[in-house]
Structure 1
Amino acid sequence: MSRRGWAMAGMALVAAVALSGCAGTSGGTPTVIDDLEVDAAWVDNGRMIALVTWGSSTCAPIAEEGVLGQDGVLSVTLLDPPPVGEETERACTADMAPRATLVGLPEGIDPAQDLDVRVTYASAVGDTELDGVPGLAAPTTPTDYEPSAGWVEEGLFAVVTWGSSSCAPVVEDVQASAEKEVTLTFATPPADRICTMDMAPRVALAAVDGLADDDGVELVLQGDTFSGVRIPILG
């Protein structure tokens, strides 16, 4: 998809998620086509990537461990998410939206170098390339559990936070607040929410318009558990 197309799709993402509760559901995941449209972003300071595919906003696929081939291509297989609770099949909303899947990177990848990625999802196969970013951590180094963000395409980025897997923050608003600054505001969580006691990475997609270019842009996180946290948007 073109850069403009990704940006426009991303701008509809918050609305798509907000409306997903009213959308129709099916007994499984949407039909997969033979040519998989996929893009990616560096996150967690180069320890992970966020793969972006299209489908139901409530049924983002999960990833098997990535395998680095002798040709330097990272191969990733995506799987449908498992059923929830007493479901026998995962019920997915019938919308079509970009959604992100986190993939931990194996030893041997240098984030400073360009990375070719091949993604398989059912009968579909897609390829994408990540431009190298100097100064990132080696993939096998321990995470620092800090929030991170990376450009997927112009105007669309992935943001990763750490915390309870059952209480991921929800993007409420995204604005270009300065020439090289984007402010992302998370929704205020319910006062009575109950969260599991695990520590997991949570990924969301967000879109912004009005930037002259995306080099050297900082992201300011507000809302939920964040108050003015500044991080670079990698890429």
Structure 2
Amino acid sequence: MSRHRLTLIAALGAGLLAAGALTGCATGASSPAQETSPSASSSPDAGESSSAAEVGAAWLDAGRAIAVVTWGSSTCVPVVSAEPTVSGDAVTVTLGESARTDCTRDMAPRATLVGLPAGVDPTRSLEVTVEGAAEGRTTLAPLTSAPSDAEQFAPSAGWVDARTIALVTYGSSGCPPTVESVTTTGTGIAVQFATPPADQICTMDLAPRVTLADVGDGAPEGAVSVVLSGGGVDAPDPIPVLGSR
């Protein structure tokens, strides 16, 4: 699977969106793992940049991508506005504001998927500097071994912190899945996505979507896998959760 897969998928999605192709889909509207009941506003109070302490990150897609986690409106997730730059074991990510104007006035963690340039070694620690619409710095601990390659459009998962995982699934960019419930066992996590409304209208593209799930304080120790179900997500096999807490 090519390292440029995320770029190609984004280009495909942009072409379809430009064509105005809309259809009903089987996934729900975006929301963070910690749900709120915000009111809509074109000028959200939550539009302020995140501080350094509020920026997080997770390894995804076999170490070829990361999720950058910032705080703000849950419906207006920042976007990557420039190609990430790498210097040694450090990457700089520039984020731009979401194009949406109907932002909710909540303050929640949001995850932006960032494809990494060639040459980044996931078995080495990576310092992540975020600039632009959000600002901060965090360090990703190295993976103990290079993760196995995954099939195209395969979901992936990674630890953001001790109780939060970032999940990548593929489908309509306009209808990312919403977490309904999270359960844990001795060595695994099960995430159930909510059934979307029957009249949900979604963009007719195929793109990576990042969802955050709060696994609580009972997260299993050691190597952990996650099983995804519901919400139109087809992922019956356990997915290794990359990284450490």
TM-score > 0.5, shorter chain as reference: yes
1:208 is aligned with what amino acid? V
Aligned to 2:70: 53
Following superposition of structure 1 onto structure 2, how do residues 178-197 of structure 1 map, counting pairs within 5 Å? Answer: 178-197=185-204
| Stretch deviating more after TM superposition (196-205 or 206-215) | 206-215
Q: Is 1:198 aligned to 2:205, yes or no?
A: yes
Question: What percent identity do the matched residue pairs reach?
Answer: 45
Deviation at 1:55, TM superposition (A): 0.8
1:110 is aligned with what amino acid? D
Deviation at 1:26, TM superposition (A): 4.0
Deviation at 1:181, TM superposition (A): 0.9
Checking the alignment, whether the CA contact within 8 Å between 1:36 and 1:121 is kept in structure 2 is no
**Contiguous gaps of at least 5 residues in structure 2:** 1-31
Deviation at 1:130, TM superposition (A): 0.7
| From 158, 167, 171, the counterpart of 2:166 | 158
Cα distance in 2, alignment partners of residues 217 and 34 from structure 1:
30
Following superposition of structure 1 onto structure 2, how do residues 59-208 of structure 1 map, counting pairs within 5 Å? Answer: 59-63=76-80, 64-69=82-87, 71-83=88-100, 90-122=101-133, 125-133=135-143, 134-136=145-147, 144-176=152-184, 178-208=185-215
Question: 1:137-161 CA deviation, whole Å, 9 max, x = no partner?
Answer: 68xxx96210111000001010000
Aligned to 2:33: 13
**Contiguous gaps of at least 5 residues in structure 1:** 1-11, 84-89
Deviation at 1:218, TM superposition (A): 1.1
Deviation at 1:229, TM superposition (A): 3.3
Aligned length: 208
Question: 1:12-61 CA deviation, whole Å, 9 max, x = no partner?
Answer: 83422xx23xx252425623366462110011111110000111111110
Deviation at 1:109, TM superposition (A): 0.2
Q: Say what the alpha-carbon RMSD is for the aligned residues.
A: 2.3
Cα distance in 1, alignment partners of residues 195 and 219 from structure 2:
30
Cα distance in 1, alignment partners of residues 42 and 199 from structure 2:
30
Aligned to 1:8: none
TM-score between the two structures when normalised by the length of structure 2: 0.76
Cα distance in 2, alignment partners of residues 49 and 78 from structure 1:
14
